[in-house]
Structure 1
Amino acid sequence: MKLLPELPEVETVRSGLEAQMVGQRISKVLLRRDGLRFPFPENMEERMVGAEVGAVERRAKYLIIRLNTEDDWLVHLGMSGYFSLINGKGSIANYEPLKHDHVLVEFENGFIAVYNDARRFGVMDLFPAGREDEHRLITHLGPEPLSDSWDARVLAKSLSRRKTAIKVALLDQKVVVGVGNIYASEALFRARISPLVESAKIVGKSGKNMRSTLLVSEIKKVLREAIAAGGSTLKDFKSVDG
């Protein structure tokens, strides 16, 4: 089964992009194809040029790059997408793109952000600034596992009527976002919960209990450890630093 970049891997990319992009102004955008998983938005190049990056945030496995215009920039890495930050080239014209370098973004300070995606399962879009919760790819998403508001009580409410196996439920982005296969397996192992047990049995009739409390705690720990380590070692995953 193919492993996808999950929350820790995307958070690692977010951190790397934030360090280089925030406060920088986009001077040129080159799209080397019409789209990735979906077509690029209309006039994407023109809408991005001149914008300054205000922040790089994450929602689930989506990167949200805040621009000081009426648009924000949405990115999903898909199965194999990654950014490279090229310093010292000064211009897209001086950079020799690789076969799968599909999007090149040049900044006024001379570095270039290059998005490479061999499988083209990634996503890039522009949406009205600050309104990501209305985006068709985000509106259905569940809670963030590392947020203070996601606790055993919230998990219990999500699982109370589910008959699916607990591991399957944890992979459902409506239950909790970004946990993914390897992190769900590790958290369940640490919590001593079989991945095959029925979801509703984790919480029982009373809702929040010791097992659900422990499971939430282990999920948070596993994800934080992975982020601290720069994400898990995935065959096709590359951080901003490669």
Structure 2
Amino acid sequence: MPELPEVEAVRTGLEQLILGKEISQVHVFWPRIIESPEVELFKVNLIGEKVGAINRRGKFLIFELSHYEMVSHLRMEGKYEFHQQEDEVAKHTHVMFDFTDGTQLRYLDVRKFGRMTLLPKGLASEYSGILKLGPEPVPETFFLKAFSAGLKRSSKAIKPLLLDQKLVTGLGNIYVDEALYEARIHPEQPAGTLLRKEVEALYQAIIDVLGRAVEAGGTTIRTYKNALGEAGKFQVSLNVYGQTGVPCPRCGTGIIKTKVAQRGTHYCPTCQKLRQRKMRD
């Protein structure tokens, strides 16, 4: 699943490709991709719209158009490709946006889980999925005090708590594992039992891991590529995710894989020990 760094790489790629272009026609081959409005209205409303900007909130892309905002969630396997209109259409292409200059933006999705929603201008921030999101993982919006208070209130294991996007947005399976490793925290440690020094280490690790992953263009594990057709490069920096049996870079213990909240989870059993439950300092 594309996580925040991958979606940011898609956003910056699309900025280079389609800013200023005017939509002349829209083709929808799998109607369930369009969440709202109904498909024919979606197609008609987009005709004549120009792409003014492409923003991101968490894992959502927001296409800023002349009169509308289109919210796009890639989910598991969604991706955008830029083509000439006469190019052969690949399998799993579900939505195509024709531009007046003869180019075309295509949305492909093997799983068909992705969704698009067209909203009047200025209303993307009120979209239900976006309203639930916590702050972006940067110091300007993500504050240690609020993060610490949110952890203290929860008895959930730290990994699923971070995955739910409410305390901080953008963390998926890969980057939660990496941040917890960097902070030396077991993925099943109850959030409310974290020590102050662990909270501070985790806060810094989240900012650091996601920041470095954005700079690297994300992580390519299987099929992910950005809108320019480029693979991410952060996979070469992964310490635990996908490293089952590989010696821990810190202590040499073999990385193990287990399941936490039904998600494949990688950690070092030596550096990330599960403590007995006790009150935080």
The TM-score, its normalising length taken from structure 2, stands at 0.76
Unaligned 5+ segments in structure 1 are 204-208
Unaligned 5+ segments in structure 2 are 230-281
State the match for 2:2 in structure 1. 5
Deviations 1:137-188 (A, max 9, x none): 2222222112512121121121112111111211111222111111111111
Displacement of 1:39 in angstroms is 4.3
Q: Which piece of structure 1 moves more, 151-160 or 117-126?
A: 151-160
Whether 2:223 is the aligned partner of 1:236: answer yes
Give the alignment partner of residue 57 of structure 2, picking from 44, 56, 59.
59
Displacement of 1:85 in angstroms is 0.7
Query: Greater CA radius of gyration, 1 or 2?
Result: 2
Give the alignment partner of residue 133 of structure 2, picking from 131, 141, 157.
141
Q: How many Å separate the matches in 2 of 1:25 and 1:187?
A: 41
Deviations 1:184-221 (A, max 9, x none): 11111111122221101225xxxxx3322221111111
Give the alignment partner of residue 182 of structure 1, picking from 159, 174, 177.
174
Between the aligned residues of both structures, percent identity stands at: 39
Return the structure number with greater relative CO, CA threshold 8 A, min gap 6. Answer: 1
Whether 2:144 is the aligned partner of 1:152: answer yes
State the match for 2:37 in structure 1. 41
Displacement of 1:7 in angstroms is 0.4
Q: Alpha carbon RMSD of aligned pairs, Å?
A: 1.6
Displacement of 1:109 in angstroms is 2.7
CA contact (8 A) 1:142 1:173 kept: yes
Q: Which piece of structure 1 moves more, 49-58 or 138-147?
A: 138-147
Displacement of 1:23 in angstroms is 1.6
Runs of 4+ in 1 over 4 A off after TM superposition: none
Q: How many Å separate the matches in 1 of 2:178 and 2:194?
A: 16
CA contact (8 A) 1:151 1:213 kept: no
Q: Aligned partner of 1:46: which letter?
A: V
Whether 2:187 is the aligned partner of 1:195: answer yes
Secondary structure of the residue aligned to 1:79 is coil
Q: How many Å separate the matches in 2 of 1:27 and 1:19?
A: 19
State the match for 1:216 in structure 2. 203
CA contact (8 A) 1:8 1:223 kept: yes
CA contact (8 A) 2:139 2:207 kept: no
Q: How many Å separate the matches in 1 of 2:35 and 2:201?
A: 43
Q: Aligned partner of 1:57: which letter?
A: N
Whether 2:93 is the aligned partner of 1:101: answer yes
Q: How many Å separate the matches in 1 of 2:100 and 2:51?
A: 12
Q: Aligned partner of 1:80: which letter?
A: E
Q: How many Å separate the matches in 1 of 2:91 and 2:215?
A: 32
Relative to structure 1, the CA distance from residue 145 to residue 221 in structure 2 (aligned partners, 3 Å threshold; closer, same or farther) is: same
Q: How many Å separate the matches in 1 of 2:149 and 2:102?
A: 50
Displacement of 1:124 in angstroms is 0.7
Give the alignment partner of residue 83 of structure 1, picking from 75, 80, 83.
80
State the match for 2:48 in structure 1. 50
